[in-house]
Chains A and B, each alone.
Chain A
Amino acid sequence: MSFSNLTRRGVIKTGAVAGAGLALPTYLSAAAHSGFTNAPTGDTVTLGFNVPQSGPYADEGADELRAFELAVEHLNGQGDGGMLSTFSSKALEGNGIMGKKVQFVTGDTQTKSDAARASAQSMIQKDGAIMISGGSSSGVAVAVQGLCQEAGVIFMAGLTHSNDTTGKDKKANGFRHFFNAYMSAAALAPVLKNLYGDDRKVYSLTADYTWGWTQQESIQAATEAMGWETINDVRTPLAATDFSSYIAPVLNSGADVLVLNHYGGNMVNSLTNAVQFGLRDKQVNGKNFEIVVPLYSELMARGAGKNIAGIVGSQNWDWKLENEKGDRYKGTNAFVKSFGEKYGFPPSQAAQTCYAQTLLYADAVARAQSFNPCAVVEALEGYEFDGLGNGPTLYRAGDHQCFKDVVVVRGKENPENEFDLVEIVEVTPAEQVTYPVDHPMFAGGELGDCNPGA
């Protein structure tokens, strides 16, 4: 190699470029002087919405994005205000957050952990997002939560149901409004006992990843506690599309209940296959064969069509809640009205949790009178609120998990339209789904200290 081309001018140029390059990360981590990452300096504040915009969960991501847009509209004083009028806290005045107009950027998680981290990082570093929200998978939520903790921004999780998100992978900067696998199981068990009796034999199929494992562990513990017996649990590959070889042996196994710990596309296919095999028309051990899907997603249930008829599962929220179960769930109708008038159909549970999370973040900033993540954490920890559609709710300080009622639903036999696929069977009160912070299913991780970044 020859160095004969080295010139004084060249060295200065290279030095300047290298210097700028080295300075870049400091510049991008923003406002080091203000004490926390991406402190808003002008008259706007930027939120980052990280949702699946491509891949199999794109429709769910689109619904989350609709809810985020609506929330931003309401925060900025546009539209009819939605749940701002029913929210128990009155700190938000429709003038943005602390007088700063809310703007947002979006990222595409692709429902892949690495892509989700990259898009969140880009929104934090390039766009100056002070809070990240959204997502439709626990793998993604855990990955992005970890990133937000390191970067010093708040993560308001979207749809994530694994126990781990607020269990072994919990982080001080992360908060989950959505319920979890333990709560689903605790809510379902008594309803299942009422519907199907206390002497049942269970065969379960479980998606082979973090959410599937925690869901299976939770439902097995809850059903066995009421006398059911688990005779087999089969792990199925996440990438599986045809479940026939896993479903075929079920009927001859002696089981009379099939639990499908599947979500999204897996759920659509495994449930469709199970119904094709005629499981629901059979009698085993002198009882009707039953299928249970612990976590329902109304959006994905559309994909299973009539096959969901009579299948019991749980939801974080349902748009019919206030009409059917009364004033306790106020906020539901206000949100459904805003969302329905803007988009022409009722919102999904993914949309509701994302809308609520955005309002909760904004409200925490307004109450703390600071965008500093540590002030926001303090404002959210142990916070009790109402009027966001789920009834009285607590953001528990010990693990940053929301505790509220859980909705048990059943697929309608004759749905009127594609948005009205489930009926509410029961709403399980929050007390019945509450567990201690140090419950063994949530053990392993530490919340740690909040990180303001910068």
Chain B
Amino acid sequence: MDAILLQLLNGLDKGSAYALIALGLTLIFGTLGVVNFAHGALFMIGAFCAVTLSKIFTLSHKAAEPSGTDFLGNPKFEDVLYIKEWFGDAAGAWLLDWSVPLSILFAIPIMLAIGFIMERGLIKHFYKRPHADQILVTFGLAIVLQEVIKYFYGANPIPTAAPEAFRGSFDFGVLLGFDPNAIIYPYWRLIYFAFSALIIGGVFAFLQFTTFGMVVRAGMADRETVGLLGINIDKRFTIMFGIAAAVAGLAGVMYAPINSPNYHMGMDFLVLSFVVVVVGGMGSLPGAVLAGFLLGILESFASMNEVKDILPGIDQIIIYVVAIIILLTRPRGLMGRKGVMEE
């Protein structure tokens, strides 16, 4: 029982990353009709926003006086952090410790700008082109973006720690009457889950309860009619692309302490996220979220030793098996609409 609860928790956590990325993908597909293979790269750039802010906070100059010798026996000059010089030791250390949550504020304008530039500079030229062209150009863009990141940050993963207060794990088992250590879960992963729920809720509320959102939803349903009403739907869709990029970026920022960011982390998530979107139903926002959590949970259960004993290797293929079953039984996905990608 405790093992099942633990994997359920784990699945919700895994699913929150899938759901966030798939949500952004669906937003772009639903509004602009573009299959954006560069979406994983946006997730990766988000994580590197966290890396960048922490690098900015650790900018330093050499101390005037040497303190000991370096590995070659030459005089060693300690690094003095500007941040500690400017704000004092305590405030400097606090900023450094909280650099990941603070990166959210740093990442939002950057991701909106990247989304805007991507859409206006490249993707808008592909609206009327076949999906295959869109996939090729966005996939190419993803490779370019990851090579740019690799050029500046190297190929190695870069550790980006969560604030001290959120390291360690919480013992759920004790709370539920199990033995200690039966169900433990890291604080930061719980925060990630809560954060993604907040973002998903925010996006839905924005689309549901604002006039802007209402117009966007109308445009997703019938772009032509909305245009005929004199509404500049293209401009709103460009803003939605920026918002989708920001959602992917924020998912990346908060993911940085979970696994050290590296330049190809976007590709690791990309294929999975597409499966999530297809299972959820192309163009369906609730479908993307539902499928994200569903596949996260299934993947976690498939990793259980008891399951692997019966079906060896199932953890490696479960997501694709589910995708095949769903597509065979519900070709439009769990919550797909008629007519999407069927012309």
B157 and A244 within 8 A (CB)? no
Contact between A58 and B304 (Cβ–Cβ < 8 Å)? no
Q: Report B-chain residues with C-beta under 8 Å of the C-beta of A341.
A: 72
A336 to B97, CA, bound (A): 34
Residues of chain B contacted by A276 (CB below 8 angstroms): 167, 169, 186, 188-189, 258
Q: Mark B21-32, 1 if CB is under 8 A from A, else 0.
A: 000000000000
User: What chain A residues lie within 8 Å of B262 (beta carbons)?
Assistant: 56, 265, 303
Known: A242-B259, A278-B169, A284-B181. A337 touches B72 (CB 8 A): yes
Query: Given that A252-B182, A419-B71 are contacting pairs, would A303 and B3 also be in contact in the complex, using a CB cutoff of 8 Å?
Result: no
Q: Are B182 and A272 in contact (CB under 8 A)?
A: no
CB-CB nearest in chain A for B255 = A242
A residues 234-249 in Cβ contact with B at 8 Å: 234, 237, 239, 241-242, 244-246, 248-249
| A245-B303, A277-B186, A337-B72 known; A251 vs B259 contact (CB < 8 Å) | no
Question: Which size bracket describes the interface of A in this complex?
Answer: 35 or more
A241 touching B10 in the complex, CB below 8 Å, given contacts A249-B305, A278-B169, A302-B159: no
Q: How far is the CA of A299 from the CA of B264 in the complex (A)?
A: 17
A363 CB → nearest B CB, Å: 27
The chain A residue sitting closest to B159, CB to CB, is: A305
User: Which of B85-93, B130-138, B148-156, B205-213 is the contact stretch?
Assistant: B148-156
Complex CA–CA separation, A319 to B168 (angstroms): 33
Contacts of A239 on B, CB cut-off 8 Å?
268
**With A234-B308, A237-B315, A268-B260: A242-B14 Cβ-Cβ less than 8 Å:** yes
- The one of A272, A319, A336 in contact with B259, judged by C-beta atoms closer than 8 angstroms, is A272
CB distance from B40 to the nearest CB of A (A): 12
Distance of A203 Cα from B116 Cα, bound (Å)? 48
Contacts of B71 in A (CB 8 A): 319, 336, 340, 346, 419-420
The answer on a CB contact under 8 Å between B159 and A304 is yes
State in angstroms the CA–CA spacing of A273 and B14 once bound together: 13
B159 contacts which chain A residues (CB < 8 A)?
272, 302-307
Residues in B257-297 with C-beta less than 8 Å from chain A = 258-260, 262, 264-265, 268
Given the known A-B contacts A241-B259, A248-B7, A277-B184, are A303 and B156 also in contact in the complex, defined by CB atoms under 8 Å?
Answer: yes
* Shortest Cβ gap from B145 to chain A (Å): 15
* CB-based contact A59/B258 at 8 Å: no
Q: Is the CB–CB distance between A245 and B259 below 8 Å?
A: no
- Give A241-267 as 1s and 0s: 1 = Cβ < 8 Å from B's Cβ atoms: 110111011011000000000000100
A272 touches B260 (CB 8 A): yes
With a cutoff of 8 Å between Cβ atoms, the chain B residues found around residue A273 in the complex are: 258-259
Check B157 against A268 for contact (C-beta < 8 Å).
yes
- Give chain B interface residues in 10-68, CB to chain A under 8 Å: 10-11, 13-14
Judge whether B72 and A251 touch: CB under 8 Å.
no
A246 to B14 CA separation, bound complex (whole angstroms): 13
Asked if A244 contacts B189 (CB within 8 A), the reply is: yes
A335 to chain B minimum Cβ distance, whole angstroms, is 12
CB neighbours (8 Å) of A306 from chain B are: 159, 161
Is the C-beta of A15 less than 8 angstroms from some C-beta in chain B? no
Question: In the complex, which residue of chain B has the Cβ closest to the Cβ of A289?
Answer: B181
Q: Are B303 and A246 in contact (CB under 8 A)?
A: yes
Given contacts A269-B260, A277-B184, contact A57 B155 (CB under 8 A): yes
Residues in A with CB closer than 8 Å to B157 are 265, 268-269, 300, 303-304
Does residue B316 face the partner (Cβ distance < 8 Å to A)? yes
Nearest CB on B from A441, distance (A): 23
| A302–B182 alpha-carbon span in the complex (Å) | 31
A29 to B141, CA, bound (A): 40
Interface positions of B from 105 to 151, Cβ below 8 Å from A:
150
Q: Which residue on B lies nearest to A304, using beta carbons? A: B159
From A336, which residue of chain B is reached at the shortest CB distance?
Answer: B71
Complex-state Cα separation, A245 to B14, whole angstroms:
9
Q: A245-B14, A276-B189, A340-B71 are in contact. Are A302 and B156 (CB under 8 A)?
A: yes
Contact present for B304 and A249 (CB under 8 Å): yes
> Which residues on the B side are within 8 Å of A304 (C-beta)?
157, 159, 260
B300 and A245 within 8 A (CB):
yes
Whether A281 and B168, one on each chain, are in contact in the complex, defined by CB atoms closer than 8 angstroms, is yes
Does A14 have its Cβ within 8 Å of any Cβ on chain B? no
CB distance from B245 to the nearest CB of A (A): 22
Using CB atoms and an 8 Å cutoff, list the residues of chain A in contact with chain B.
Answer: 54-59, 232, 234, 237, 239, 241-242, 244-246, 248-249, 251-252, 265, 268-269, 272-273, 276-278, 281-282, 284, 299-300, 302-307, 319, 336-337, 340-341, 346, 419-420
- Additional A-B contact list (6), CB under 8 Å, known A277-B185, A282-B181, A306-B159: A244-B10, A265-B157, A268-B260, A299-B156, A337-B72, A340-B71
25 inter-chain pairs at a CB distance below 8 angstroms, sorted by A residue, are A56-B155, A57-B155, A58-B150, A58-B154, A237-B315, A241-B268, A244-B189, A245-B7, A245-B300, A248-B6, A249-B7, A252-B3, A252-B181, A272-B159, A273-B259, A276-B169, A277-B186, A278-B184, A300-B156, A300-B157, A302-B159, A303-B158, A336-B72, A340-B71, A340-B72
Chain B residues packing against A (C-beta within 8 Å):
2-3, 6-7, 10-11, 13-14, 71-72, 150, 154-159, 161, 167-169, 181-186, 188-189, 258-260, 262, 264-265, 268, 299-300, 303-305, 308, 315-316
**6 pairs of A and B residues whose beta carbons are closest in the complex:** A305-B159, A303-B157, A58-B155, A278-B169, A245-B303, A276-B186
